[in-house]
Chains A and B, each alone.
Chain A
Amino acid sequence: MHYITNIQKFSIHDGDGIRTTVFFKGCKLRCQWCHNPETQNFKPEIQYDSDKCTGCGRCVNACPNGALSFSQAAPGEAPTVVTDQSKCQLCGRCVDVCPQCARDIIGKEYSVPSLVKEIMKDRMFYEDSGGGVTLSGGEVMAMDRDYLVRLCQALHRQGIDITIDTCGEAPWETYEAIIPYVHTWLYDIKTLDDGLHRKYIGAGNQLILDNLKKLAAAGERIYIRIPVVKEVNGTEESMRDVIRFLGENHIAPPQINLLPYHDTGKSKYPRLGREYEAENLHAPDNEEMQSFVKMFNEAGYGNVKIGG
């Protein structure tokens, strides 16, 4: 199955022009700094914002499965609501009755026609700006292959520019299947060091690099995006590795984005009942970022930007 967490209109940092970005739910990687943790799990889930909750108890009473209960609150503080995921059937009653909009179901199913219809709403803006749709996530390439192919075909038929935002961790066959319809790939590289990759990202980088090589060999238009985290890849050595890799594989991206780490996703973790693991990670300072840009420039890569 494939679920969508958000369809963002007027998306202006995920490719060219004015775009609609579709965030699919589910990703095999577990980057510690992920700012969209709600897109990691492949299944829908309940998001709960205790800051908004007043402890009125409407949700606890409304749940037909007895999945909700009050936590033990410290004296003087309003109790919060705890969800027993094993009992929750995602029926959404608790969401409906919450007057504070503190609860939400993350992950909605869209058929190909209904998703195409939503994407087509901003056709006028794509045309004038040279924009289109960006399929992102989570990891869009980890979605059902047949669904993706049908989606891309339907969009392609109507002339919609398709950009795929991918981390690379997906079967090559899926990439191969949609190559004919995709205009641009936004492809993430984190680190060439397989050990670090396993430590901070939860998987090795072999498949990711292989897929990138194959895409490049197929002559695809690829923008490289590098999330830069001081502790993981924010070093000259790490950047040199990437530059060498690009050179060896004859990858000449029209654009490279160096994306400094930020912790804007931090507040989302507790809402999902999870802990934020990236507390101790940092962005390189601006001077270091500039020096990385310079390294790329000196290696012959012209269009290098800090940020999206």
Chain B
Amino acid sequence: MAEERGMNQRIKNLRKISTETQPSVDLERAKIETDFYKENEGKYSVPVMRAMFFKKYMEEKTLYLGDDELIVGEKGSRPQACPTFPEICTHTVEDMEIMNARDLVSFSVTLEDIELEREEIIPFWKGKSTREHLLERMTPEWKECYAEGIWTEFMEQRGPGHTCGGKNVFIKGFEDYKKEIQEALDALDFLNDPEAYEKAEELKAMAIDCDAICILGERYRKLALEKAAEEKNPQRKKELEQIAENCAVVPAHKPQTYWQALQHYWFVHLGVTTELNPWDAFSPGRLDQHLYPYYEADTEAGLLDDYHALELLECLWVKFYNQPAPVKVGVTLKESGTYTDFANINTGGIKEDGSDGVNAVSYLILDCMDELKLVQPNSNVQISKKTPTRFLKRALEISRKGWGQPAFYNTDEIVQELLNAGKSLLDARQGGSSGCVETGSWGNEAYILTGYMNIPKILQMTLYDGFDTYSGKQLGLHLGNAEDFKSYDELFDAFSKQLNYFVDLKVRGNNVIENIFAKEMPAPFLSIVTNDCISKGKDYNAGGARYNTRYIQGVGIGTVTDMMTAIKYNVFEKKKFTMAELKKAMEDNFQGHEDIFSMVHDKTPKYGNDDDYADDVMQSIFTLYRDTITDRPTVCGGKYRVDMLPTTCHVYFGDVLLATPNGRLAHVPVSEGISPEKSADVNGPTAVIKSCAKMDHISTGGTLLNQKFTPSVVKGEKGLDNMASLVRSYFAMDGHHIQFNVIDKQTLLEAQKHPEDYKDLIVRVAGYSDYFRNLDKALQDEIINRTEQSFD
């Protein structure tokens, strides 16, 4: 029986519908799009065509206005109905059968859906989707690396996006945007500007999209009025009339109230996420700061109290949860195997002038998060040195309940990251992290993730002359086998060449893909709300944003560090065994090589213990990775940067990797984020944090660190103080992000069964804390039985 949550019966009802409805595929969008394209193909320029279809969808899509709702609008025709995007990725019949049948992240598909897909969608889009264009245009080398798990490709099934709304989203209506667009059109110089025509088409498309979203608002106004007319309950009737009144104002005009501001954001959110299927959906940026002026004015005027302010937030939260991530298949599902679409609400941080940004709405957002306990939207808090400790501790109180939210971001460090990447101070202060941990200047920047890079696998291939032992294919350069390298420096040099080779291959592919999206798949709606697209007359996907960044995300820094350290320490320095002996042990998955296994696994310095021997190796590999990528130019005039995060890709990357020199066995996941290799850290959380802080976070675009605790370690006021100190200390050392896993009973049972995987798990024993693995079975049992306590 699922837990009922929500501040009142209304929210409980909404949340129940949202969490208990099985996600399903919704082909309405695909059908309208296919019909429209069949009829109009070739008649208009690409952006105008996109916009005209978008308008058609807004005119015709099925509206949903559920009982109890205060915020209206769905991406599909009902909650948990997931539109498809055949222009990006045309699902095959087999895809649809699999998504219906698979155990995890499944979507129900009806026979009619399959029929429609087979008879109408597939025949029209065959050969036309960006996925097909993209794969067709990649080189054989690219395809092989992609197939064997050297990297993933973000744009294979989804559009670029990776951004958050800025302040504009909350203070401008689409009639305002339309005026700006008209001014930009009027200013075009068809005599001297060779791009004037292209710009005009893009701007026309944006103007059509303004109309489109206003049509959706108007349709909801009418629907709410119709429902109000039929409504018997006077209270609900009043609500419906208010919804109608809200939709008469937004999205066409600037919101006038707190409620309208939330509804306005939601219309923008729907626009961005139905125009295309961009990664990370869309997010409202600093929701608390954007809402605060409305909250203050309404409260002052006696129109709003905290109860209703919170209720509206909870309604918005459920709306986010109603939207599962667009259906993924294949490798893309492996790198991101979740319904979560990474909309990420940032709370706290600083204001434009650099002062503390925490306000009354910030605390309401924390209450909302705590009350609803929904994994979507992803929620985080931004902590600067100015953030009140009360706010930090309230956030930690929620975090230690053990379900991973909110995450903690270092505002001061993020500002430095953005300045280092060339943003103005003002734009840097308006930035933050979205998606998982990626840094960007909100409302001003397209910061697009292009794929994960399997760094451990590249080192592994370096040991085998560029040969991939997993696939049996020569994927890398011929630079010799590990036995041929006479020194650690020679090995490192070969690794550096291999890495550079693979990054070159990846970027070559990216350049093609960037072109495909710039030319064939513009996003004029997202462009409207992103600064400088209108004034430049340029699409978001073609470099219209003020700043344009492309990320390649490094995965497995913990694993690759320990691999390299194991070789350096045992083979080159202590000469405990030869490279050939180590490779033989690896090839046998360490079976029958207990001595070598023990040395590399248990008797070698490891990353994550504040041991400079291993941490120096981490720094050298991180620096190499960063410098191999950073500042390469992108097609649209931006720069490449790195971030260090995996989503669920560390599992996939581990699966395509045989046993590694550090004693990691074949197919076991590689390390996650910038965390140490599993069970490699044995000196507790401060040592992990110290090791992680040795990475130069400011030169990245985000890093991810998970910390595990049992509830008893972080219990009580003192536990909260200790967590706060860990956060403040890590952030003082310029750490980017930290989140806490407070471990439950189930995990302890696992830890008892597989102690080797939980070497770093600390538990409170009796007046002291100890490593779980160090305890007797009887004592473990006792702790397992006592840890099931809650902080409620």
A residues apposed to B, CB below 8 Å: 8-14, 17-18, 56, 58, 96-101, 121-122, 124-125, 127-129, 131, 257, 259-260, 262, 264, 266-267, 307-308
Q: Which residues of A contact B632 (CB under 8 A)?
A: none
Task: For the complex of A and B, list the 6 residue pairs with the smallest distance between their C-beta atoms, beginning with the closest.
Answer: A129-B725, A308-B767, A99-B594, A99-B598, A10-B684, A262-B766
Closest to A96 in B: B603
The residue in A13, A58, A264 that gathers the most chain B C-beta atoms within 10 A of its C-beta is A264
Please tell me if the beta carbons of B684 and A259 are within 8 angstroms of each other in the complex.
no
* Chain B contacts for A131, CB-based, 8 A: 725
Cβ-defined contact, A12 with B598, below 8 A: no
Residues in A with CB closer than 8 Å to B722 are 12, 17-18, 129
Give bound CA distance, A13 to B712, whole Å.
12
Asked whether A264 and B598 contact (CB < 8 A) given A122-B686, A125-B686, A128-B728, the answer is: no
In angstroms, Cα B768 to Cα A260, docked, is 12
Q: Known contacts being A18-B686, A129-B721, A264-B775, is A124 close to B732, with CB within 8 Å?
A: yes
Q: Which residues of the partner chain A approach B594 to less than 8 Å between Cβ atoms?
A: 56, 99-100
Which of A121, A124, A129, A257 counts the most chain B CB atoms within 10 A?
Answer: A124
Check B610 against A121 for contact (C-beta < 8 Å).
yes
Is A13 a contact of B768 with CB atoms below 8 Å? Answer: yes
**B766 touches which of A8, A58, A97, A307 (Cβ 8 Å):** A307
| Cβ B598 vs Cβ A98 within 8 A | yes
Pair B690/A128 contact, Cβ less than 8 Å: no
Residue numbers of B with Cβ under 8 A of A are: 594-595, 597-598, 602-603, 610, 683-687, 689-690, 713, 718-719, 721-722, 724-726, 728-729, 732-733, 762, 765-770, 775-776, 779
Smallest distance from the beta carbon of B87 to chain A beta carbons, Å? 51
A contact face: mostly helix, strand, loop, or mixed:
loop
A129 to B768, CA, bound (A): 18
Are B767 and A259 closer than 8 Å at their CB atoms?
Answer: yes
By a CB distance below 8 angstroms, the chain A residues around B603 are 96, 101
Q: 20 A–B contact pairs at CB < 8 A?
A: A9-B683, A10-B686, A11-B769, A12-B718, A12-B722, A13-B768, A13-B769, A17-B721, A18-B725, A58-B595, A99-B595, A99-B597, A100-B594, A100-B598, A121-B690, A124-B729, A128-B728, A262-B765, A264-B765, A264-B770
Counted as pairs of residues, one from A and one from B, with CB atoms less than 8 Å apart, the total is: 90
The answer for the CA separation of A266 and B733 in the assembled complex, in Å, is 40
Name the residue on A nearest B732 (C-beta). Answer: A124
Q: How far is the CB of B603 from chain A (nearest CB, A)?
A: 7
Q: Are A122 and B690 in contact (CB under 8 A)?
A: yes
Bound CA span A260–B767, Å? 8
CA distance A308 to B597 in the complex (A): 39
Given the complex, which residues of B lie within 8 Å of A8, measured CB to CB?
Answer: 684
The answer to whether B690 touches A307, judged by C-beta atoms less than 8 angstroms apart, is: no
Please, which residues of chain B bring their CB within 8 A of the CB of A257? Answer: 767
A9-B726 in contact (CB<8A): no
The interface residues of chain B lying within 8 Å CB-to-CB of A13 are: 767-769
Q: Are A9 and B598 in contact (CB under 8 A)?
A: no
Cα separation A268 to B625 with both chains bound (whole Å): 45
Q: How far is the CB of A50 from chain B (nearest CB, A)?
A: 14
CB distance from A32 to the nearest CB of B (A): 17
> In the complex, what distance in Å separates the CA atom of A266 from the CA atom of B768?
16
Indicate whether A128 sits within 8 Å of B683 (C-beta atoms), given known contacts A13-B767, A97-B595, A308-B767: no
Which partner residue on chain B sits nearest A36 by CB separation?
Answer: B768
Residue of B nearest to A225 (CB): B767
Closest residue of B by beta carbon distance from A122: B686
Query: For residue B767, which residue of chain A has the nearest CB?
Result: A308
Residues of B contacting A121 in the complex (Cβ-Cβ under 8 angstroms): 610, 686-687, 690
A125-B689, A307-B767 are known; give 17 further A-B pairs, CB within 8 A.
A9-B687, A12-B718, A12-B769, A13-B768, A17-B721, A58-B595, A100-B594, A121-B690, A124-B729, A124-B732, A125-B686, A128-B729, A129-B722, A259-B767, A262-B765, A264-B765, A264-B770
The 8 Å CB contact of B732, one of A11, A56, A128, A264, is A128
Q: How far is the CB of B783 from chain A (nearest CB, A)?
A: 10
A131 to B724 Cα, complex, angstroms: 13
B395 to chain A, nearest CB (A): 16
Give Cα A222 to B766, complex, Å: 22
Distance between B734 CB and nearest chain A CB, rounded to angstroms: 11
When A12-B722, A121-B610, A128-B728 are in contact, do A266 and B776 touch as well, CB less than 8 Å? yes
Contacts of B728 in A (CB 8 A): 128
- Chain B residues with Cβ below 8 Å from A308 are 767-768
A260 and B733 in contact, given A9-B687, A125-B726, A266-B776 (Cβ under 8 angstroms)? no
Q: Which residue of chain B has the shortest Cβ distance to A267 in the bound complex?
A: B776
**Residues on B with beta carbons closer than 8 Å to the beta carbon of A259:** 766-767
A109 to B718, CA, bound (A): 33
